[in-house]
Every structure is written in structure tokens, then in C-alpha cells.
Amino acid sequence: MKTVKDLTAEEKLRLICGKDSWHTVDLGGKIPAVTMTDGPVGLRVVCKRDEVSGKEDSLPAVAYPAIHMLANSWNPAVARKMGECLGDDALERGVDLLLAPGVNIKRDPLNGRNFEYFSEDPYLAGTMAESYIEGVQSRGVGVCLKHFCANNSEYDRFHQTSDVDERTLREMYYVPFEIACKAKPVSVMCSYNRVNGTYAAEYKKGFDVLRDEFGFDGAIFSDWGAVRDRTRSAKAGLDIEMPFNEGNYRKLCKDYAEGKLSEEELDACTQRVLDLAYRLKGMSKDEKPVTSEQQRLQAAKEILSESIVLLKNDGILPLAKGQKLFMCGVFAKAWPALLRGGGSACVRWTEENFDITAALQKRGFDVDYESAFFIKDVLSWQNARTAVLKAGRGDVNIVCVGTGEEIEYESGDRQSLRLPAVQEQAILDTAAQNPNTVVVLFAGSAIDVSAWIDQVKAVVYAGFTGEGGDEVVADILTGKINPSGKLSETFPLSIEDVPAANTYKHAGVTRYQDGLDVGYRYYDTYEVPVAFPFGHGLSYSSFEYDNLKAEQKGGTVKVMFEVENTSERAGKETAQVYVRECAPFVYRPLKELKGFCKEEIGAGKRKKFCVELPMRAFAHWSTATDRWEVTEGDYEIMVGSSSADIRLRARLTLPEIQL
């Protein structure tokens, strides 16, 4: 095993700059190289670049539900399972390091990459990512946790600075990284933006927090092309620049020769790259995939079955046997580009089949289908009046709408929170013919549903499904699967209600003047009505909560309660534990998620839930003392079925604690 002492200065300088887009250098076979690939929901092993379009093509790989859907499962065991499967995918392709997951907070619902991220809530995002990372790394494959940090929109991403105060960083934007670091990710990737004026690639203060406070012991990568000055970034502790950049490398060598980068600084980065290469080699030694591709395709469906969210149901779902169905919308018989976001998280599916009509026919339903409209094309709907007539003739009209990679993609933000006009029109026109209308929504993030929500009886949020999604959607519609997903982000009534949409964003500066008021923290504190709240999701079962007890024992508070399934079918319920400081001396949002628990409960059965909260759950980051503090006083524990549906409350008094 080589150490920095075995390398020449030239070798060290070369090692801290990647070899190409997907490998580190091996210094002529002297040390192991690292092979890496995207991404969060399936492997994107780039195989060639189309010479005309310049577009990259990748090898086929199992496409799992996108991360926004995984988060809707609220089930860390499901996240771990997805991680294990991705680990096996990587082992099969000889990949050492997976460039995932991304844990950036959904501050702005228009962020073009929201489909790649977990949540508007840092605890949920971090907790799900922690399990995902454990899953991948348990298979001997490393992860690269990204994008550090405060990278919450794609708008002008190479230039804009996220102007954000320390408390907000600590309580919102660092937290998912902090929690995910408990799973010991072998690497972290910086983001493109600046943080308070400093490029994320040179954000020493943040890197020090990762290493000294969050226990991160791996290597820090640049995002692809995020380095402006390799010397400054190396001095800050950024270990590897990716991909190789000839100009940056030459300048680095020159700066080193002129003494602008010290030996110690170069050695620190070099040693961490060496450690990473040997660590990954050690992790994957003797590892072989334990699942077949078929099993992983099956797992993709199981993950989705916990993630689809039933947003609205006026009793029309599940569909009854013998009902005649009319279905419209290209999303019903779709191709992958409609069911995923674009950019580095894009996966080339192993099979391109997706047909909900066929899946419903297989389940004994009579389905008439018209594609009727395309994504944005207004003319397509004007030419499809037959669809309106047919909608009136079926027992149930199912409209499949969504976005896909044309609307949601890396490097740009969405232009609107609403569906394209043609799709809204299709819902309204067919629903006018048939009040028994169900909308199935294939989108990677929140949608403004206000133009049509009152005209339809049910809405199923299928999101970016991944492979096998047609079968799972059919099972949800027909009731074979009882929906149990809950929203990991609020669906606001309109973009005007979103704090991030109303903050200063100009001349390369994005002011995070919304502070802690992100997502439900804002809507609930300021009593702003929303379409569907954070944590919301219906089931074909019904649940009642009682017997809440909250007991402090040493460093934790045990929250115990019971949930009864009052229906005649088994179902899964995710109970959410929110905390409120009753009389704070610093600003605190009305409620903050600090724990959750998802359990399957048999028909008519009752289950005991227990969630343990550490003292940190009650603390705020004090900018007066630069540490976490629990203020002496009363705290309310709120247990709910969503952030807006609090079923049980308890109070407790805590002493002053400095953490």
C-alpha cells in the first residue's frame, strides 16, 4: 500500500486531478484507480457520445423509482434495499463508486433537479439517504454524497451565490449531510454554486464542518467542472478535481512550483485520494452481486409500491371489477423519457415497455385508450375531440398527465408549477363529460393542481416510476396494492405562495431570506393554505391514533402511541412526530419533523409505535454561542398522519442543555 511518501510531487499533483470523466489515475499501475459512474436511480455508464447531437449514450441498466418517489415511501428499509440493488448493479459493471445520492433540500419546487432529491425536510432527507448509503456500501461499492452545499436551484448554477446565514445552514442545509455522514460515505461532492460568495469547491469552512464535526473521513470531489482555481480548491481541502481539466492542472503545477501550494496541503489531498482508492479496493474485494437483474427489476416495483401517493380519493378508487375504463394521455403508454428527469440521473432502461392499459387489461378490465395529447402540444388536444366523447361513455375516465425529461432536467429550472395547458385542458374537458375522473400524475416534483383538482374524483401521484411502474400503477388503481406513500414535499396552491419564489434572486445572488421557513415550516407557521401538505397520503384503510406518552429518560425522549387500523383491509401507516418549542427566545417554526415510523397494521388490528428522540430534536443552533442548545422550557410533541393532520399532542419540560 503506497502512501504520500512513495510518490513524487509530479505524481501527487497528477493524482489530485482525475484521469478523465469517470476514473482517477493509477500512476502507471502504481496504485489502484477508481472507476465511478452516475447515479442515484440506476447506473449511467456512458458508452459513447453522439457526434452530431453531442448527447451521451449509456448502457442499459435497471431504472429504479426516482429519489423523490423513494422518499415518499418514508421507509428507510426500502431505501436500504434500493441501495443494495444499486450496489449489485455497480459490482456487475465493475464500478467502484456511485455518484449518488443527492440530499439537497427542496427549497424551491421549481428546481429542475428536485426529482433527484429527497425532501423539503432535512431530517427525512438525511434519514432516507443514510439507509440508502448503508445499502450501497454494504455491497462493497462506495457512494459520493452530493451536492455540498446550498445548491437548491439550477438557475445560473455556475455563478450564483447562495446567500444564507449560519443558523439556516446548520438547521436546514447541512443536516441531510450530517445525518447521511453517519453511514460513513467514502466521498462527498461539492456543488457548482458559491456559498456566501465562495465557490463550493473552495468552501473550506464547510469542508471543515464535514470533517471535524460530522465525522466525514473520505475524499471530497468537485462537481464536474466546478473548479475555477485548482490551487485554491486544494488549499481548501478539495481532494479530487473531476473530470480532468488540462488548463487547471497546468496552472496547479505552476502554482506549486511557485510555492503557492504547500507540501502539507498537497499531501493532505493526495493521502485522501490514496485512502479512497485503497478503501474502495478493500470494500469490493471478494464481493459478488447477490441479486440477479430480474430480482432487481422486481425490487424496483416493490420500492414503487411503497412510494406512490394517493393524493385524493372521493371513494372512486380502487376500481371495481367489471367497470369500463376510458384512458387518455401519452403517459399511459409511455416511453422512458416521459417517466424520468433529464441530466446525469437519467437511466437507459433495460426494456422500454410501459403500458398501463395493457396492465389493466391483464387484470380483467375493459380499457379503451386514446393517446389524445402530447406533453405540451396544444394542437394535439384540439385534434382529439373523440377522446372527449369517449370519456363520457366509460364508467371511469383515467387521465394520465405529467412532465418527463423535457420539463424536469438538470441545468435548468421548471418554468411553471402547473402542468402544460394542453394537459390541464384534457383533464377539464374529459372530466366535464364524466365526473368519475381519475388523474394519474407522472411528475418529478410538486404540481399546482388548482385548475382542475375540484373537477376530479381521485388523484394518484405516480411520479417518475422507474421500470415496471405500469404494473404497480395498475395494482394501486385496482386495489391489489394498498397505497402507503406520503408526500416528502408540500404541493402548494400556487407558486406565489412559495417563499423561495419571492426572495431576492438577481445578479448572481440568491438570498435565502426565507431562512428556516422552507416547505411546511413556512405554510404551517404562517397559516398559508396548501393543496396537499407535507406528509400527506391516503390509504384504502383508515387509521386512528391514541394513547400518546412522551417520557424523558437520560438523553432521549421516548414517544409512544398506538395506531388502530379501523378498516377491513390491511394497510401501512406512517406516523410522523413533530416538535414545537412552546415559548422560544429565538425564532422557531411552528413544527419540525423529528421522527417517523411506518408499520403494517392488519385489518381491525392495533399496533404500538415507539419513536426515540435525542435531545438534538429539541435544540436550535445558537449563533450567540456557536453550538446546539436546548432552551429550558416546555415543548410540545405532535404526532400526526401528515404535517397538517395532527392526531395527538403531549407536553414535556426540558432543562437547559448545551450539546
Q: Which residues of this protein are in contact with ligand BGC, per CB under 6 A?
A: 38-39, 99, 146, 223-224, 344
The rounded distance, in Å, linking the Cα atoms of 335 and 189 is 31
The secondary structure of 278-323, three-state, reads: HHHHHHHCCCCCCCCHHHHHHHHHHHHHCCCEEEEECCCCCCCCCC
Q: Which is nearer to ligand BGC, 22 or 331 (CB)?
A: 22
Are 153 and 413 spatial neighbours (Cβ–Cβ below 8 Å)? Answer: yes
Give 3-state DSSP helix, strand, coil % of the chain, rounded to 5: 30, 25, 45
Give min distance, CB of 233 to ligand BGC, in A.
16
Q: Which is nearer to ligand BGC, 344 or 642 (CB)?
A: 344
DSSP 617: G
Tell me the three cell numbers of residue 225.
Answer: 467542472
Give min distance, CB of 621 to ligand BGC, in A.
28
The rounded distance, in Å, linking the Cα atoms of 422 and 428 is 10
Give the chain's radius of gyration (CA, Å): 25
Give min distance, CB of 148 to ligand BGC, in A.
11
Q: Which is nearer to ligand BGC, 37 or 161 (CB)?
A: 37
The rounded distance, in Å, linking the Cα atoms of 449 and 196 is 35
Smallest CA-to-CA distance from 306 within 525, 600, 23 is with 600
The rounded distance, in Å, linking the Cα atoms of 216 and 276 is 12
Q: Which is nearer to ligand BGC, 20 or 366 (CB)?
A: 20
Give min distance, CB of 36 to ligand BGC, in A.
8
Prior bond of 109 cis (ω within 30°): no
Q: Which is nearer to ligand BGC, 319 or 345 (CB)?
A: 345
Q: Which is nearer to ligand BGC, 224 or 278 (CB)?
A: 224
Distance of CA 456 to the CA centre of its chain: 28
Give min distance, CB of 594 to ligand BGC, in A.
29
Give min distance, CB of 570 to ligand BGC, in A.
39
Are 165 and 622 spatial neighbours (Cβ–Cβ below 8 Å)? Answer: no
Q: Which is nearer to ligand BGC, 233 or 642 (CB)?
A: 233
Q: What are phi and psi of 28, to 5 degrees?
A: 65, 35
Q: Which is nearer to ligand BGC, 223 or 405 (CB)?
A: 223
Which position among 38, 108, 163, 223 bears the catalytic label?
Answer: 223
Smallest CA-to-CA distance from 591 within 627, 628, 642 is with 642
Tell me the three cell numbers of residue 588.
Answer: 422557531
Is residue 223 part of the annotated active site? The answer reads yes
Q: What angle do CA 350, 62, 444 make, to 5 degrees?
A: 105
The rounded distance, in Å, linking the Cα atoms of 344 and 470 is 24
Q: What are phi and psi of 169, to 5 degrees?
A: -60, -50
Q: Which is nearer to ligand BGC, 144 or 209 (CB)?
A: 144
Give min distance, CB of 487 to ligand BGC, in A.
24
Give min distance, CB of 604 to ligand BGC, in A.
47
The rounded distance, in Å, linking the Cα atoms of 156 and 642 is 34
Are 18 and 221 spatial neighbours (Cβ–Cβ below 8 Å)? Answer: no
Across the beta sheet with 633-642, the strand order is 592-601, 571-581, 633-642, 645-654
The rounded distance, in Å, linking the Cα atoms of 536 and 72 is 10
Under 8 Å CB-to-CB from 181, ≥6 apart: which residues? 145, 210, 214, 215, 216
Give min distance, CB of 417 to ligand BGC, in A.
23
Q: Which active-site residues does the annotation give? A: 223
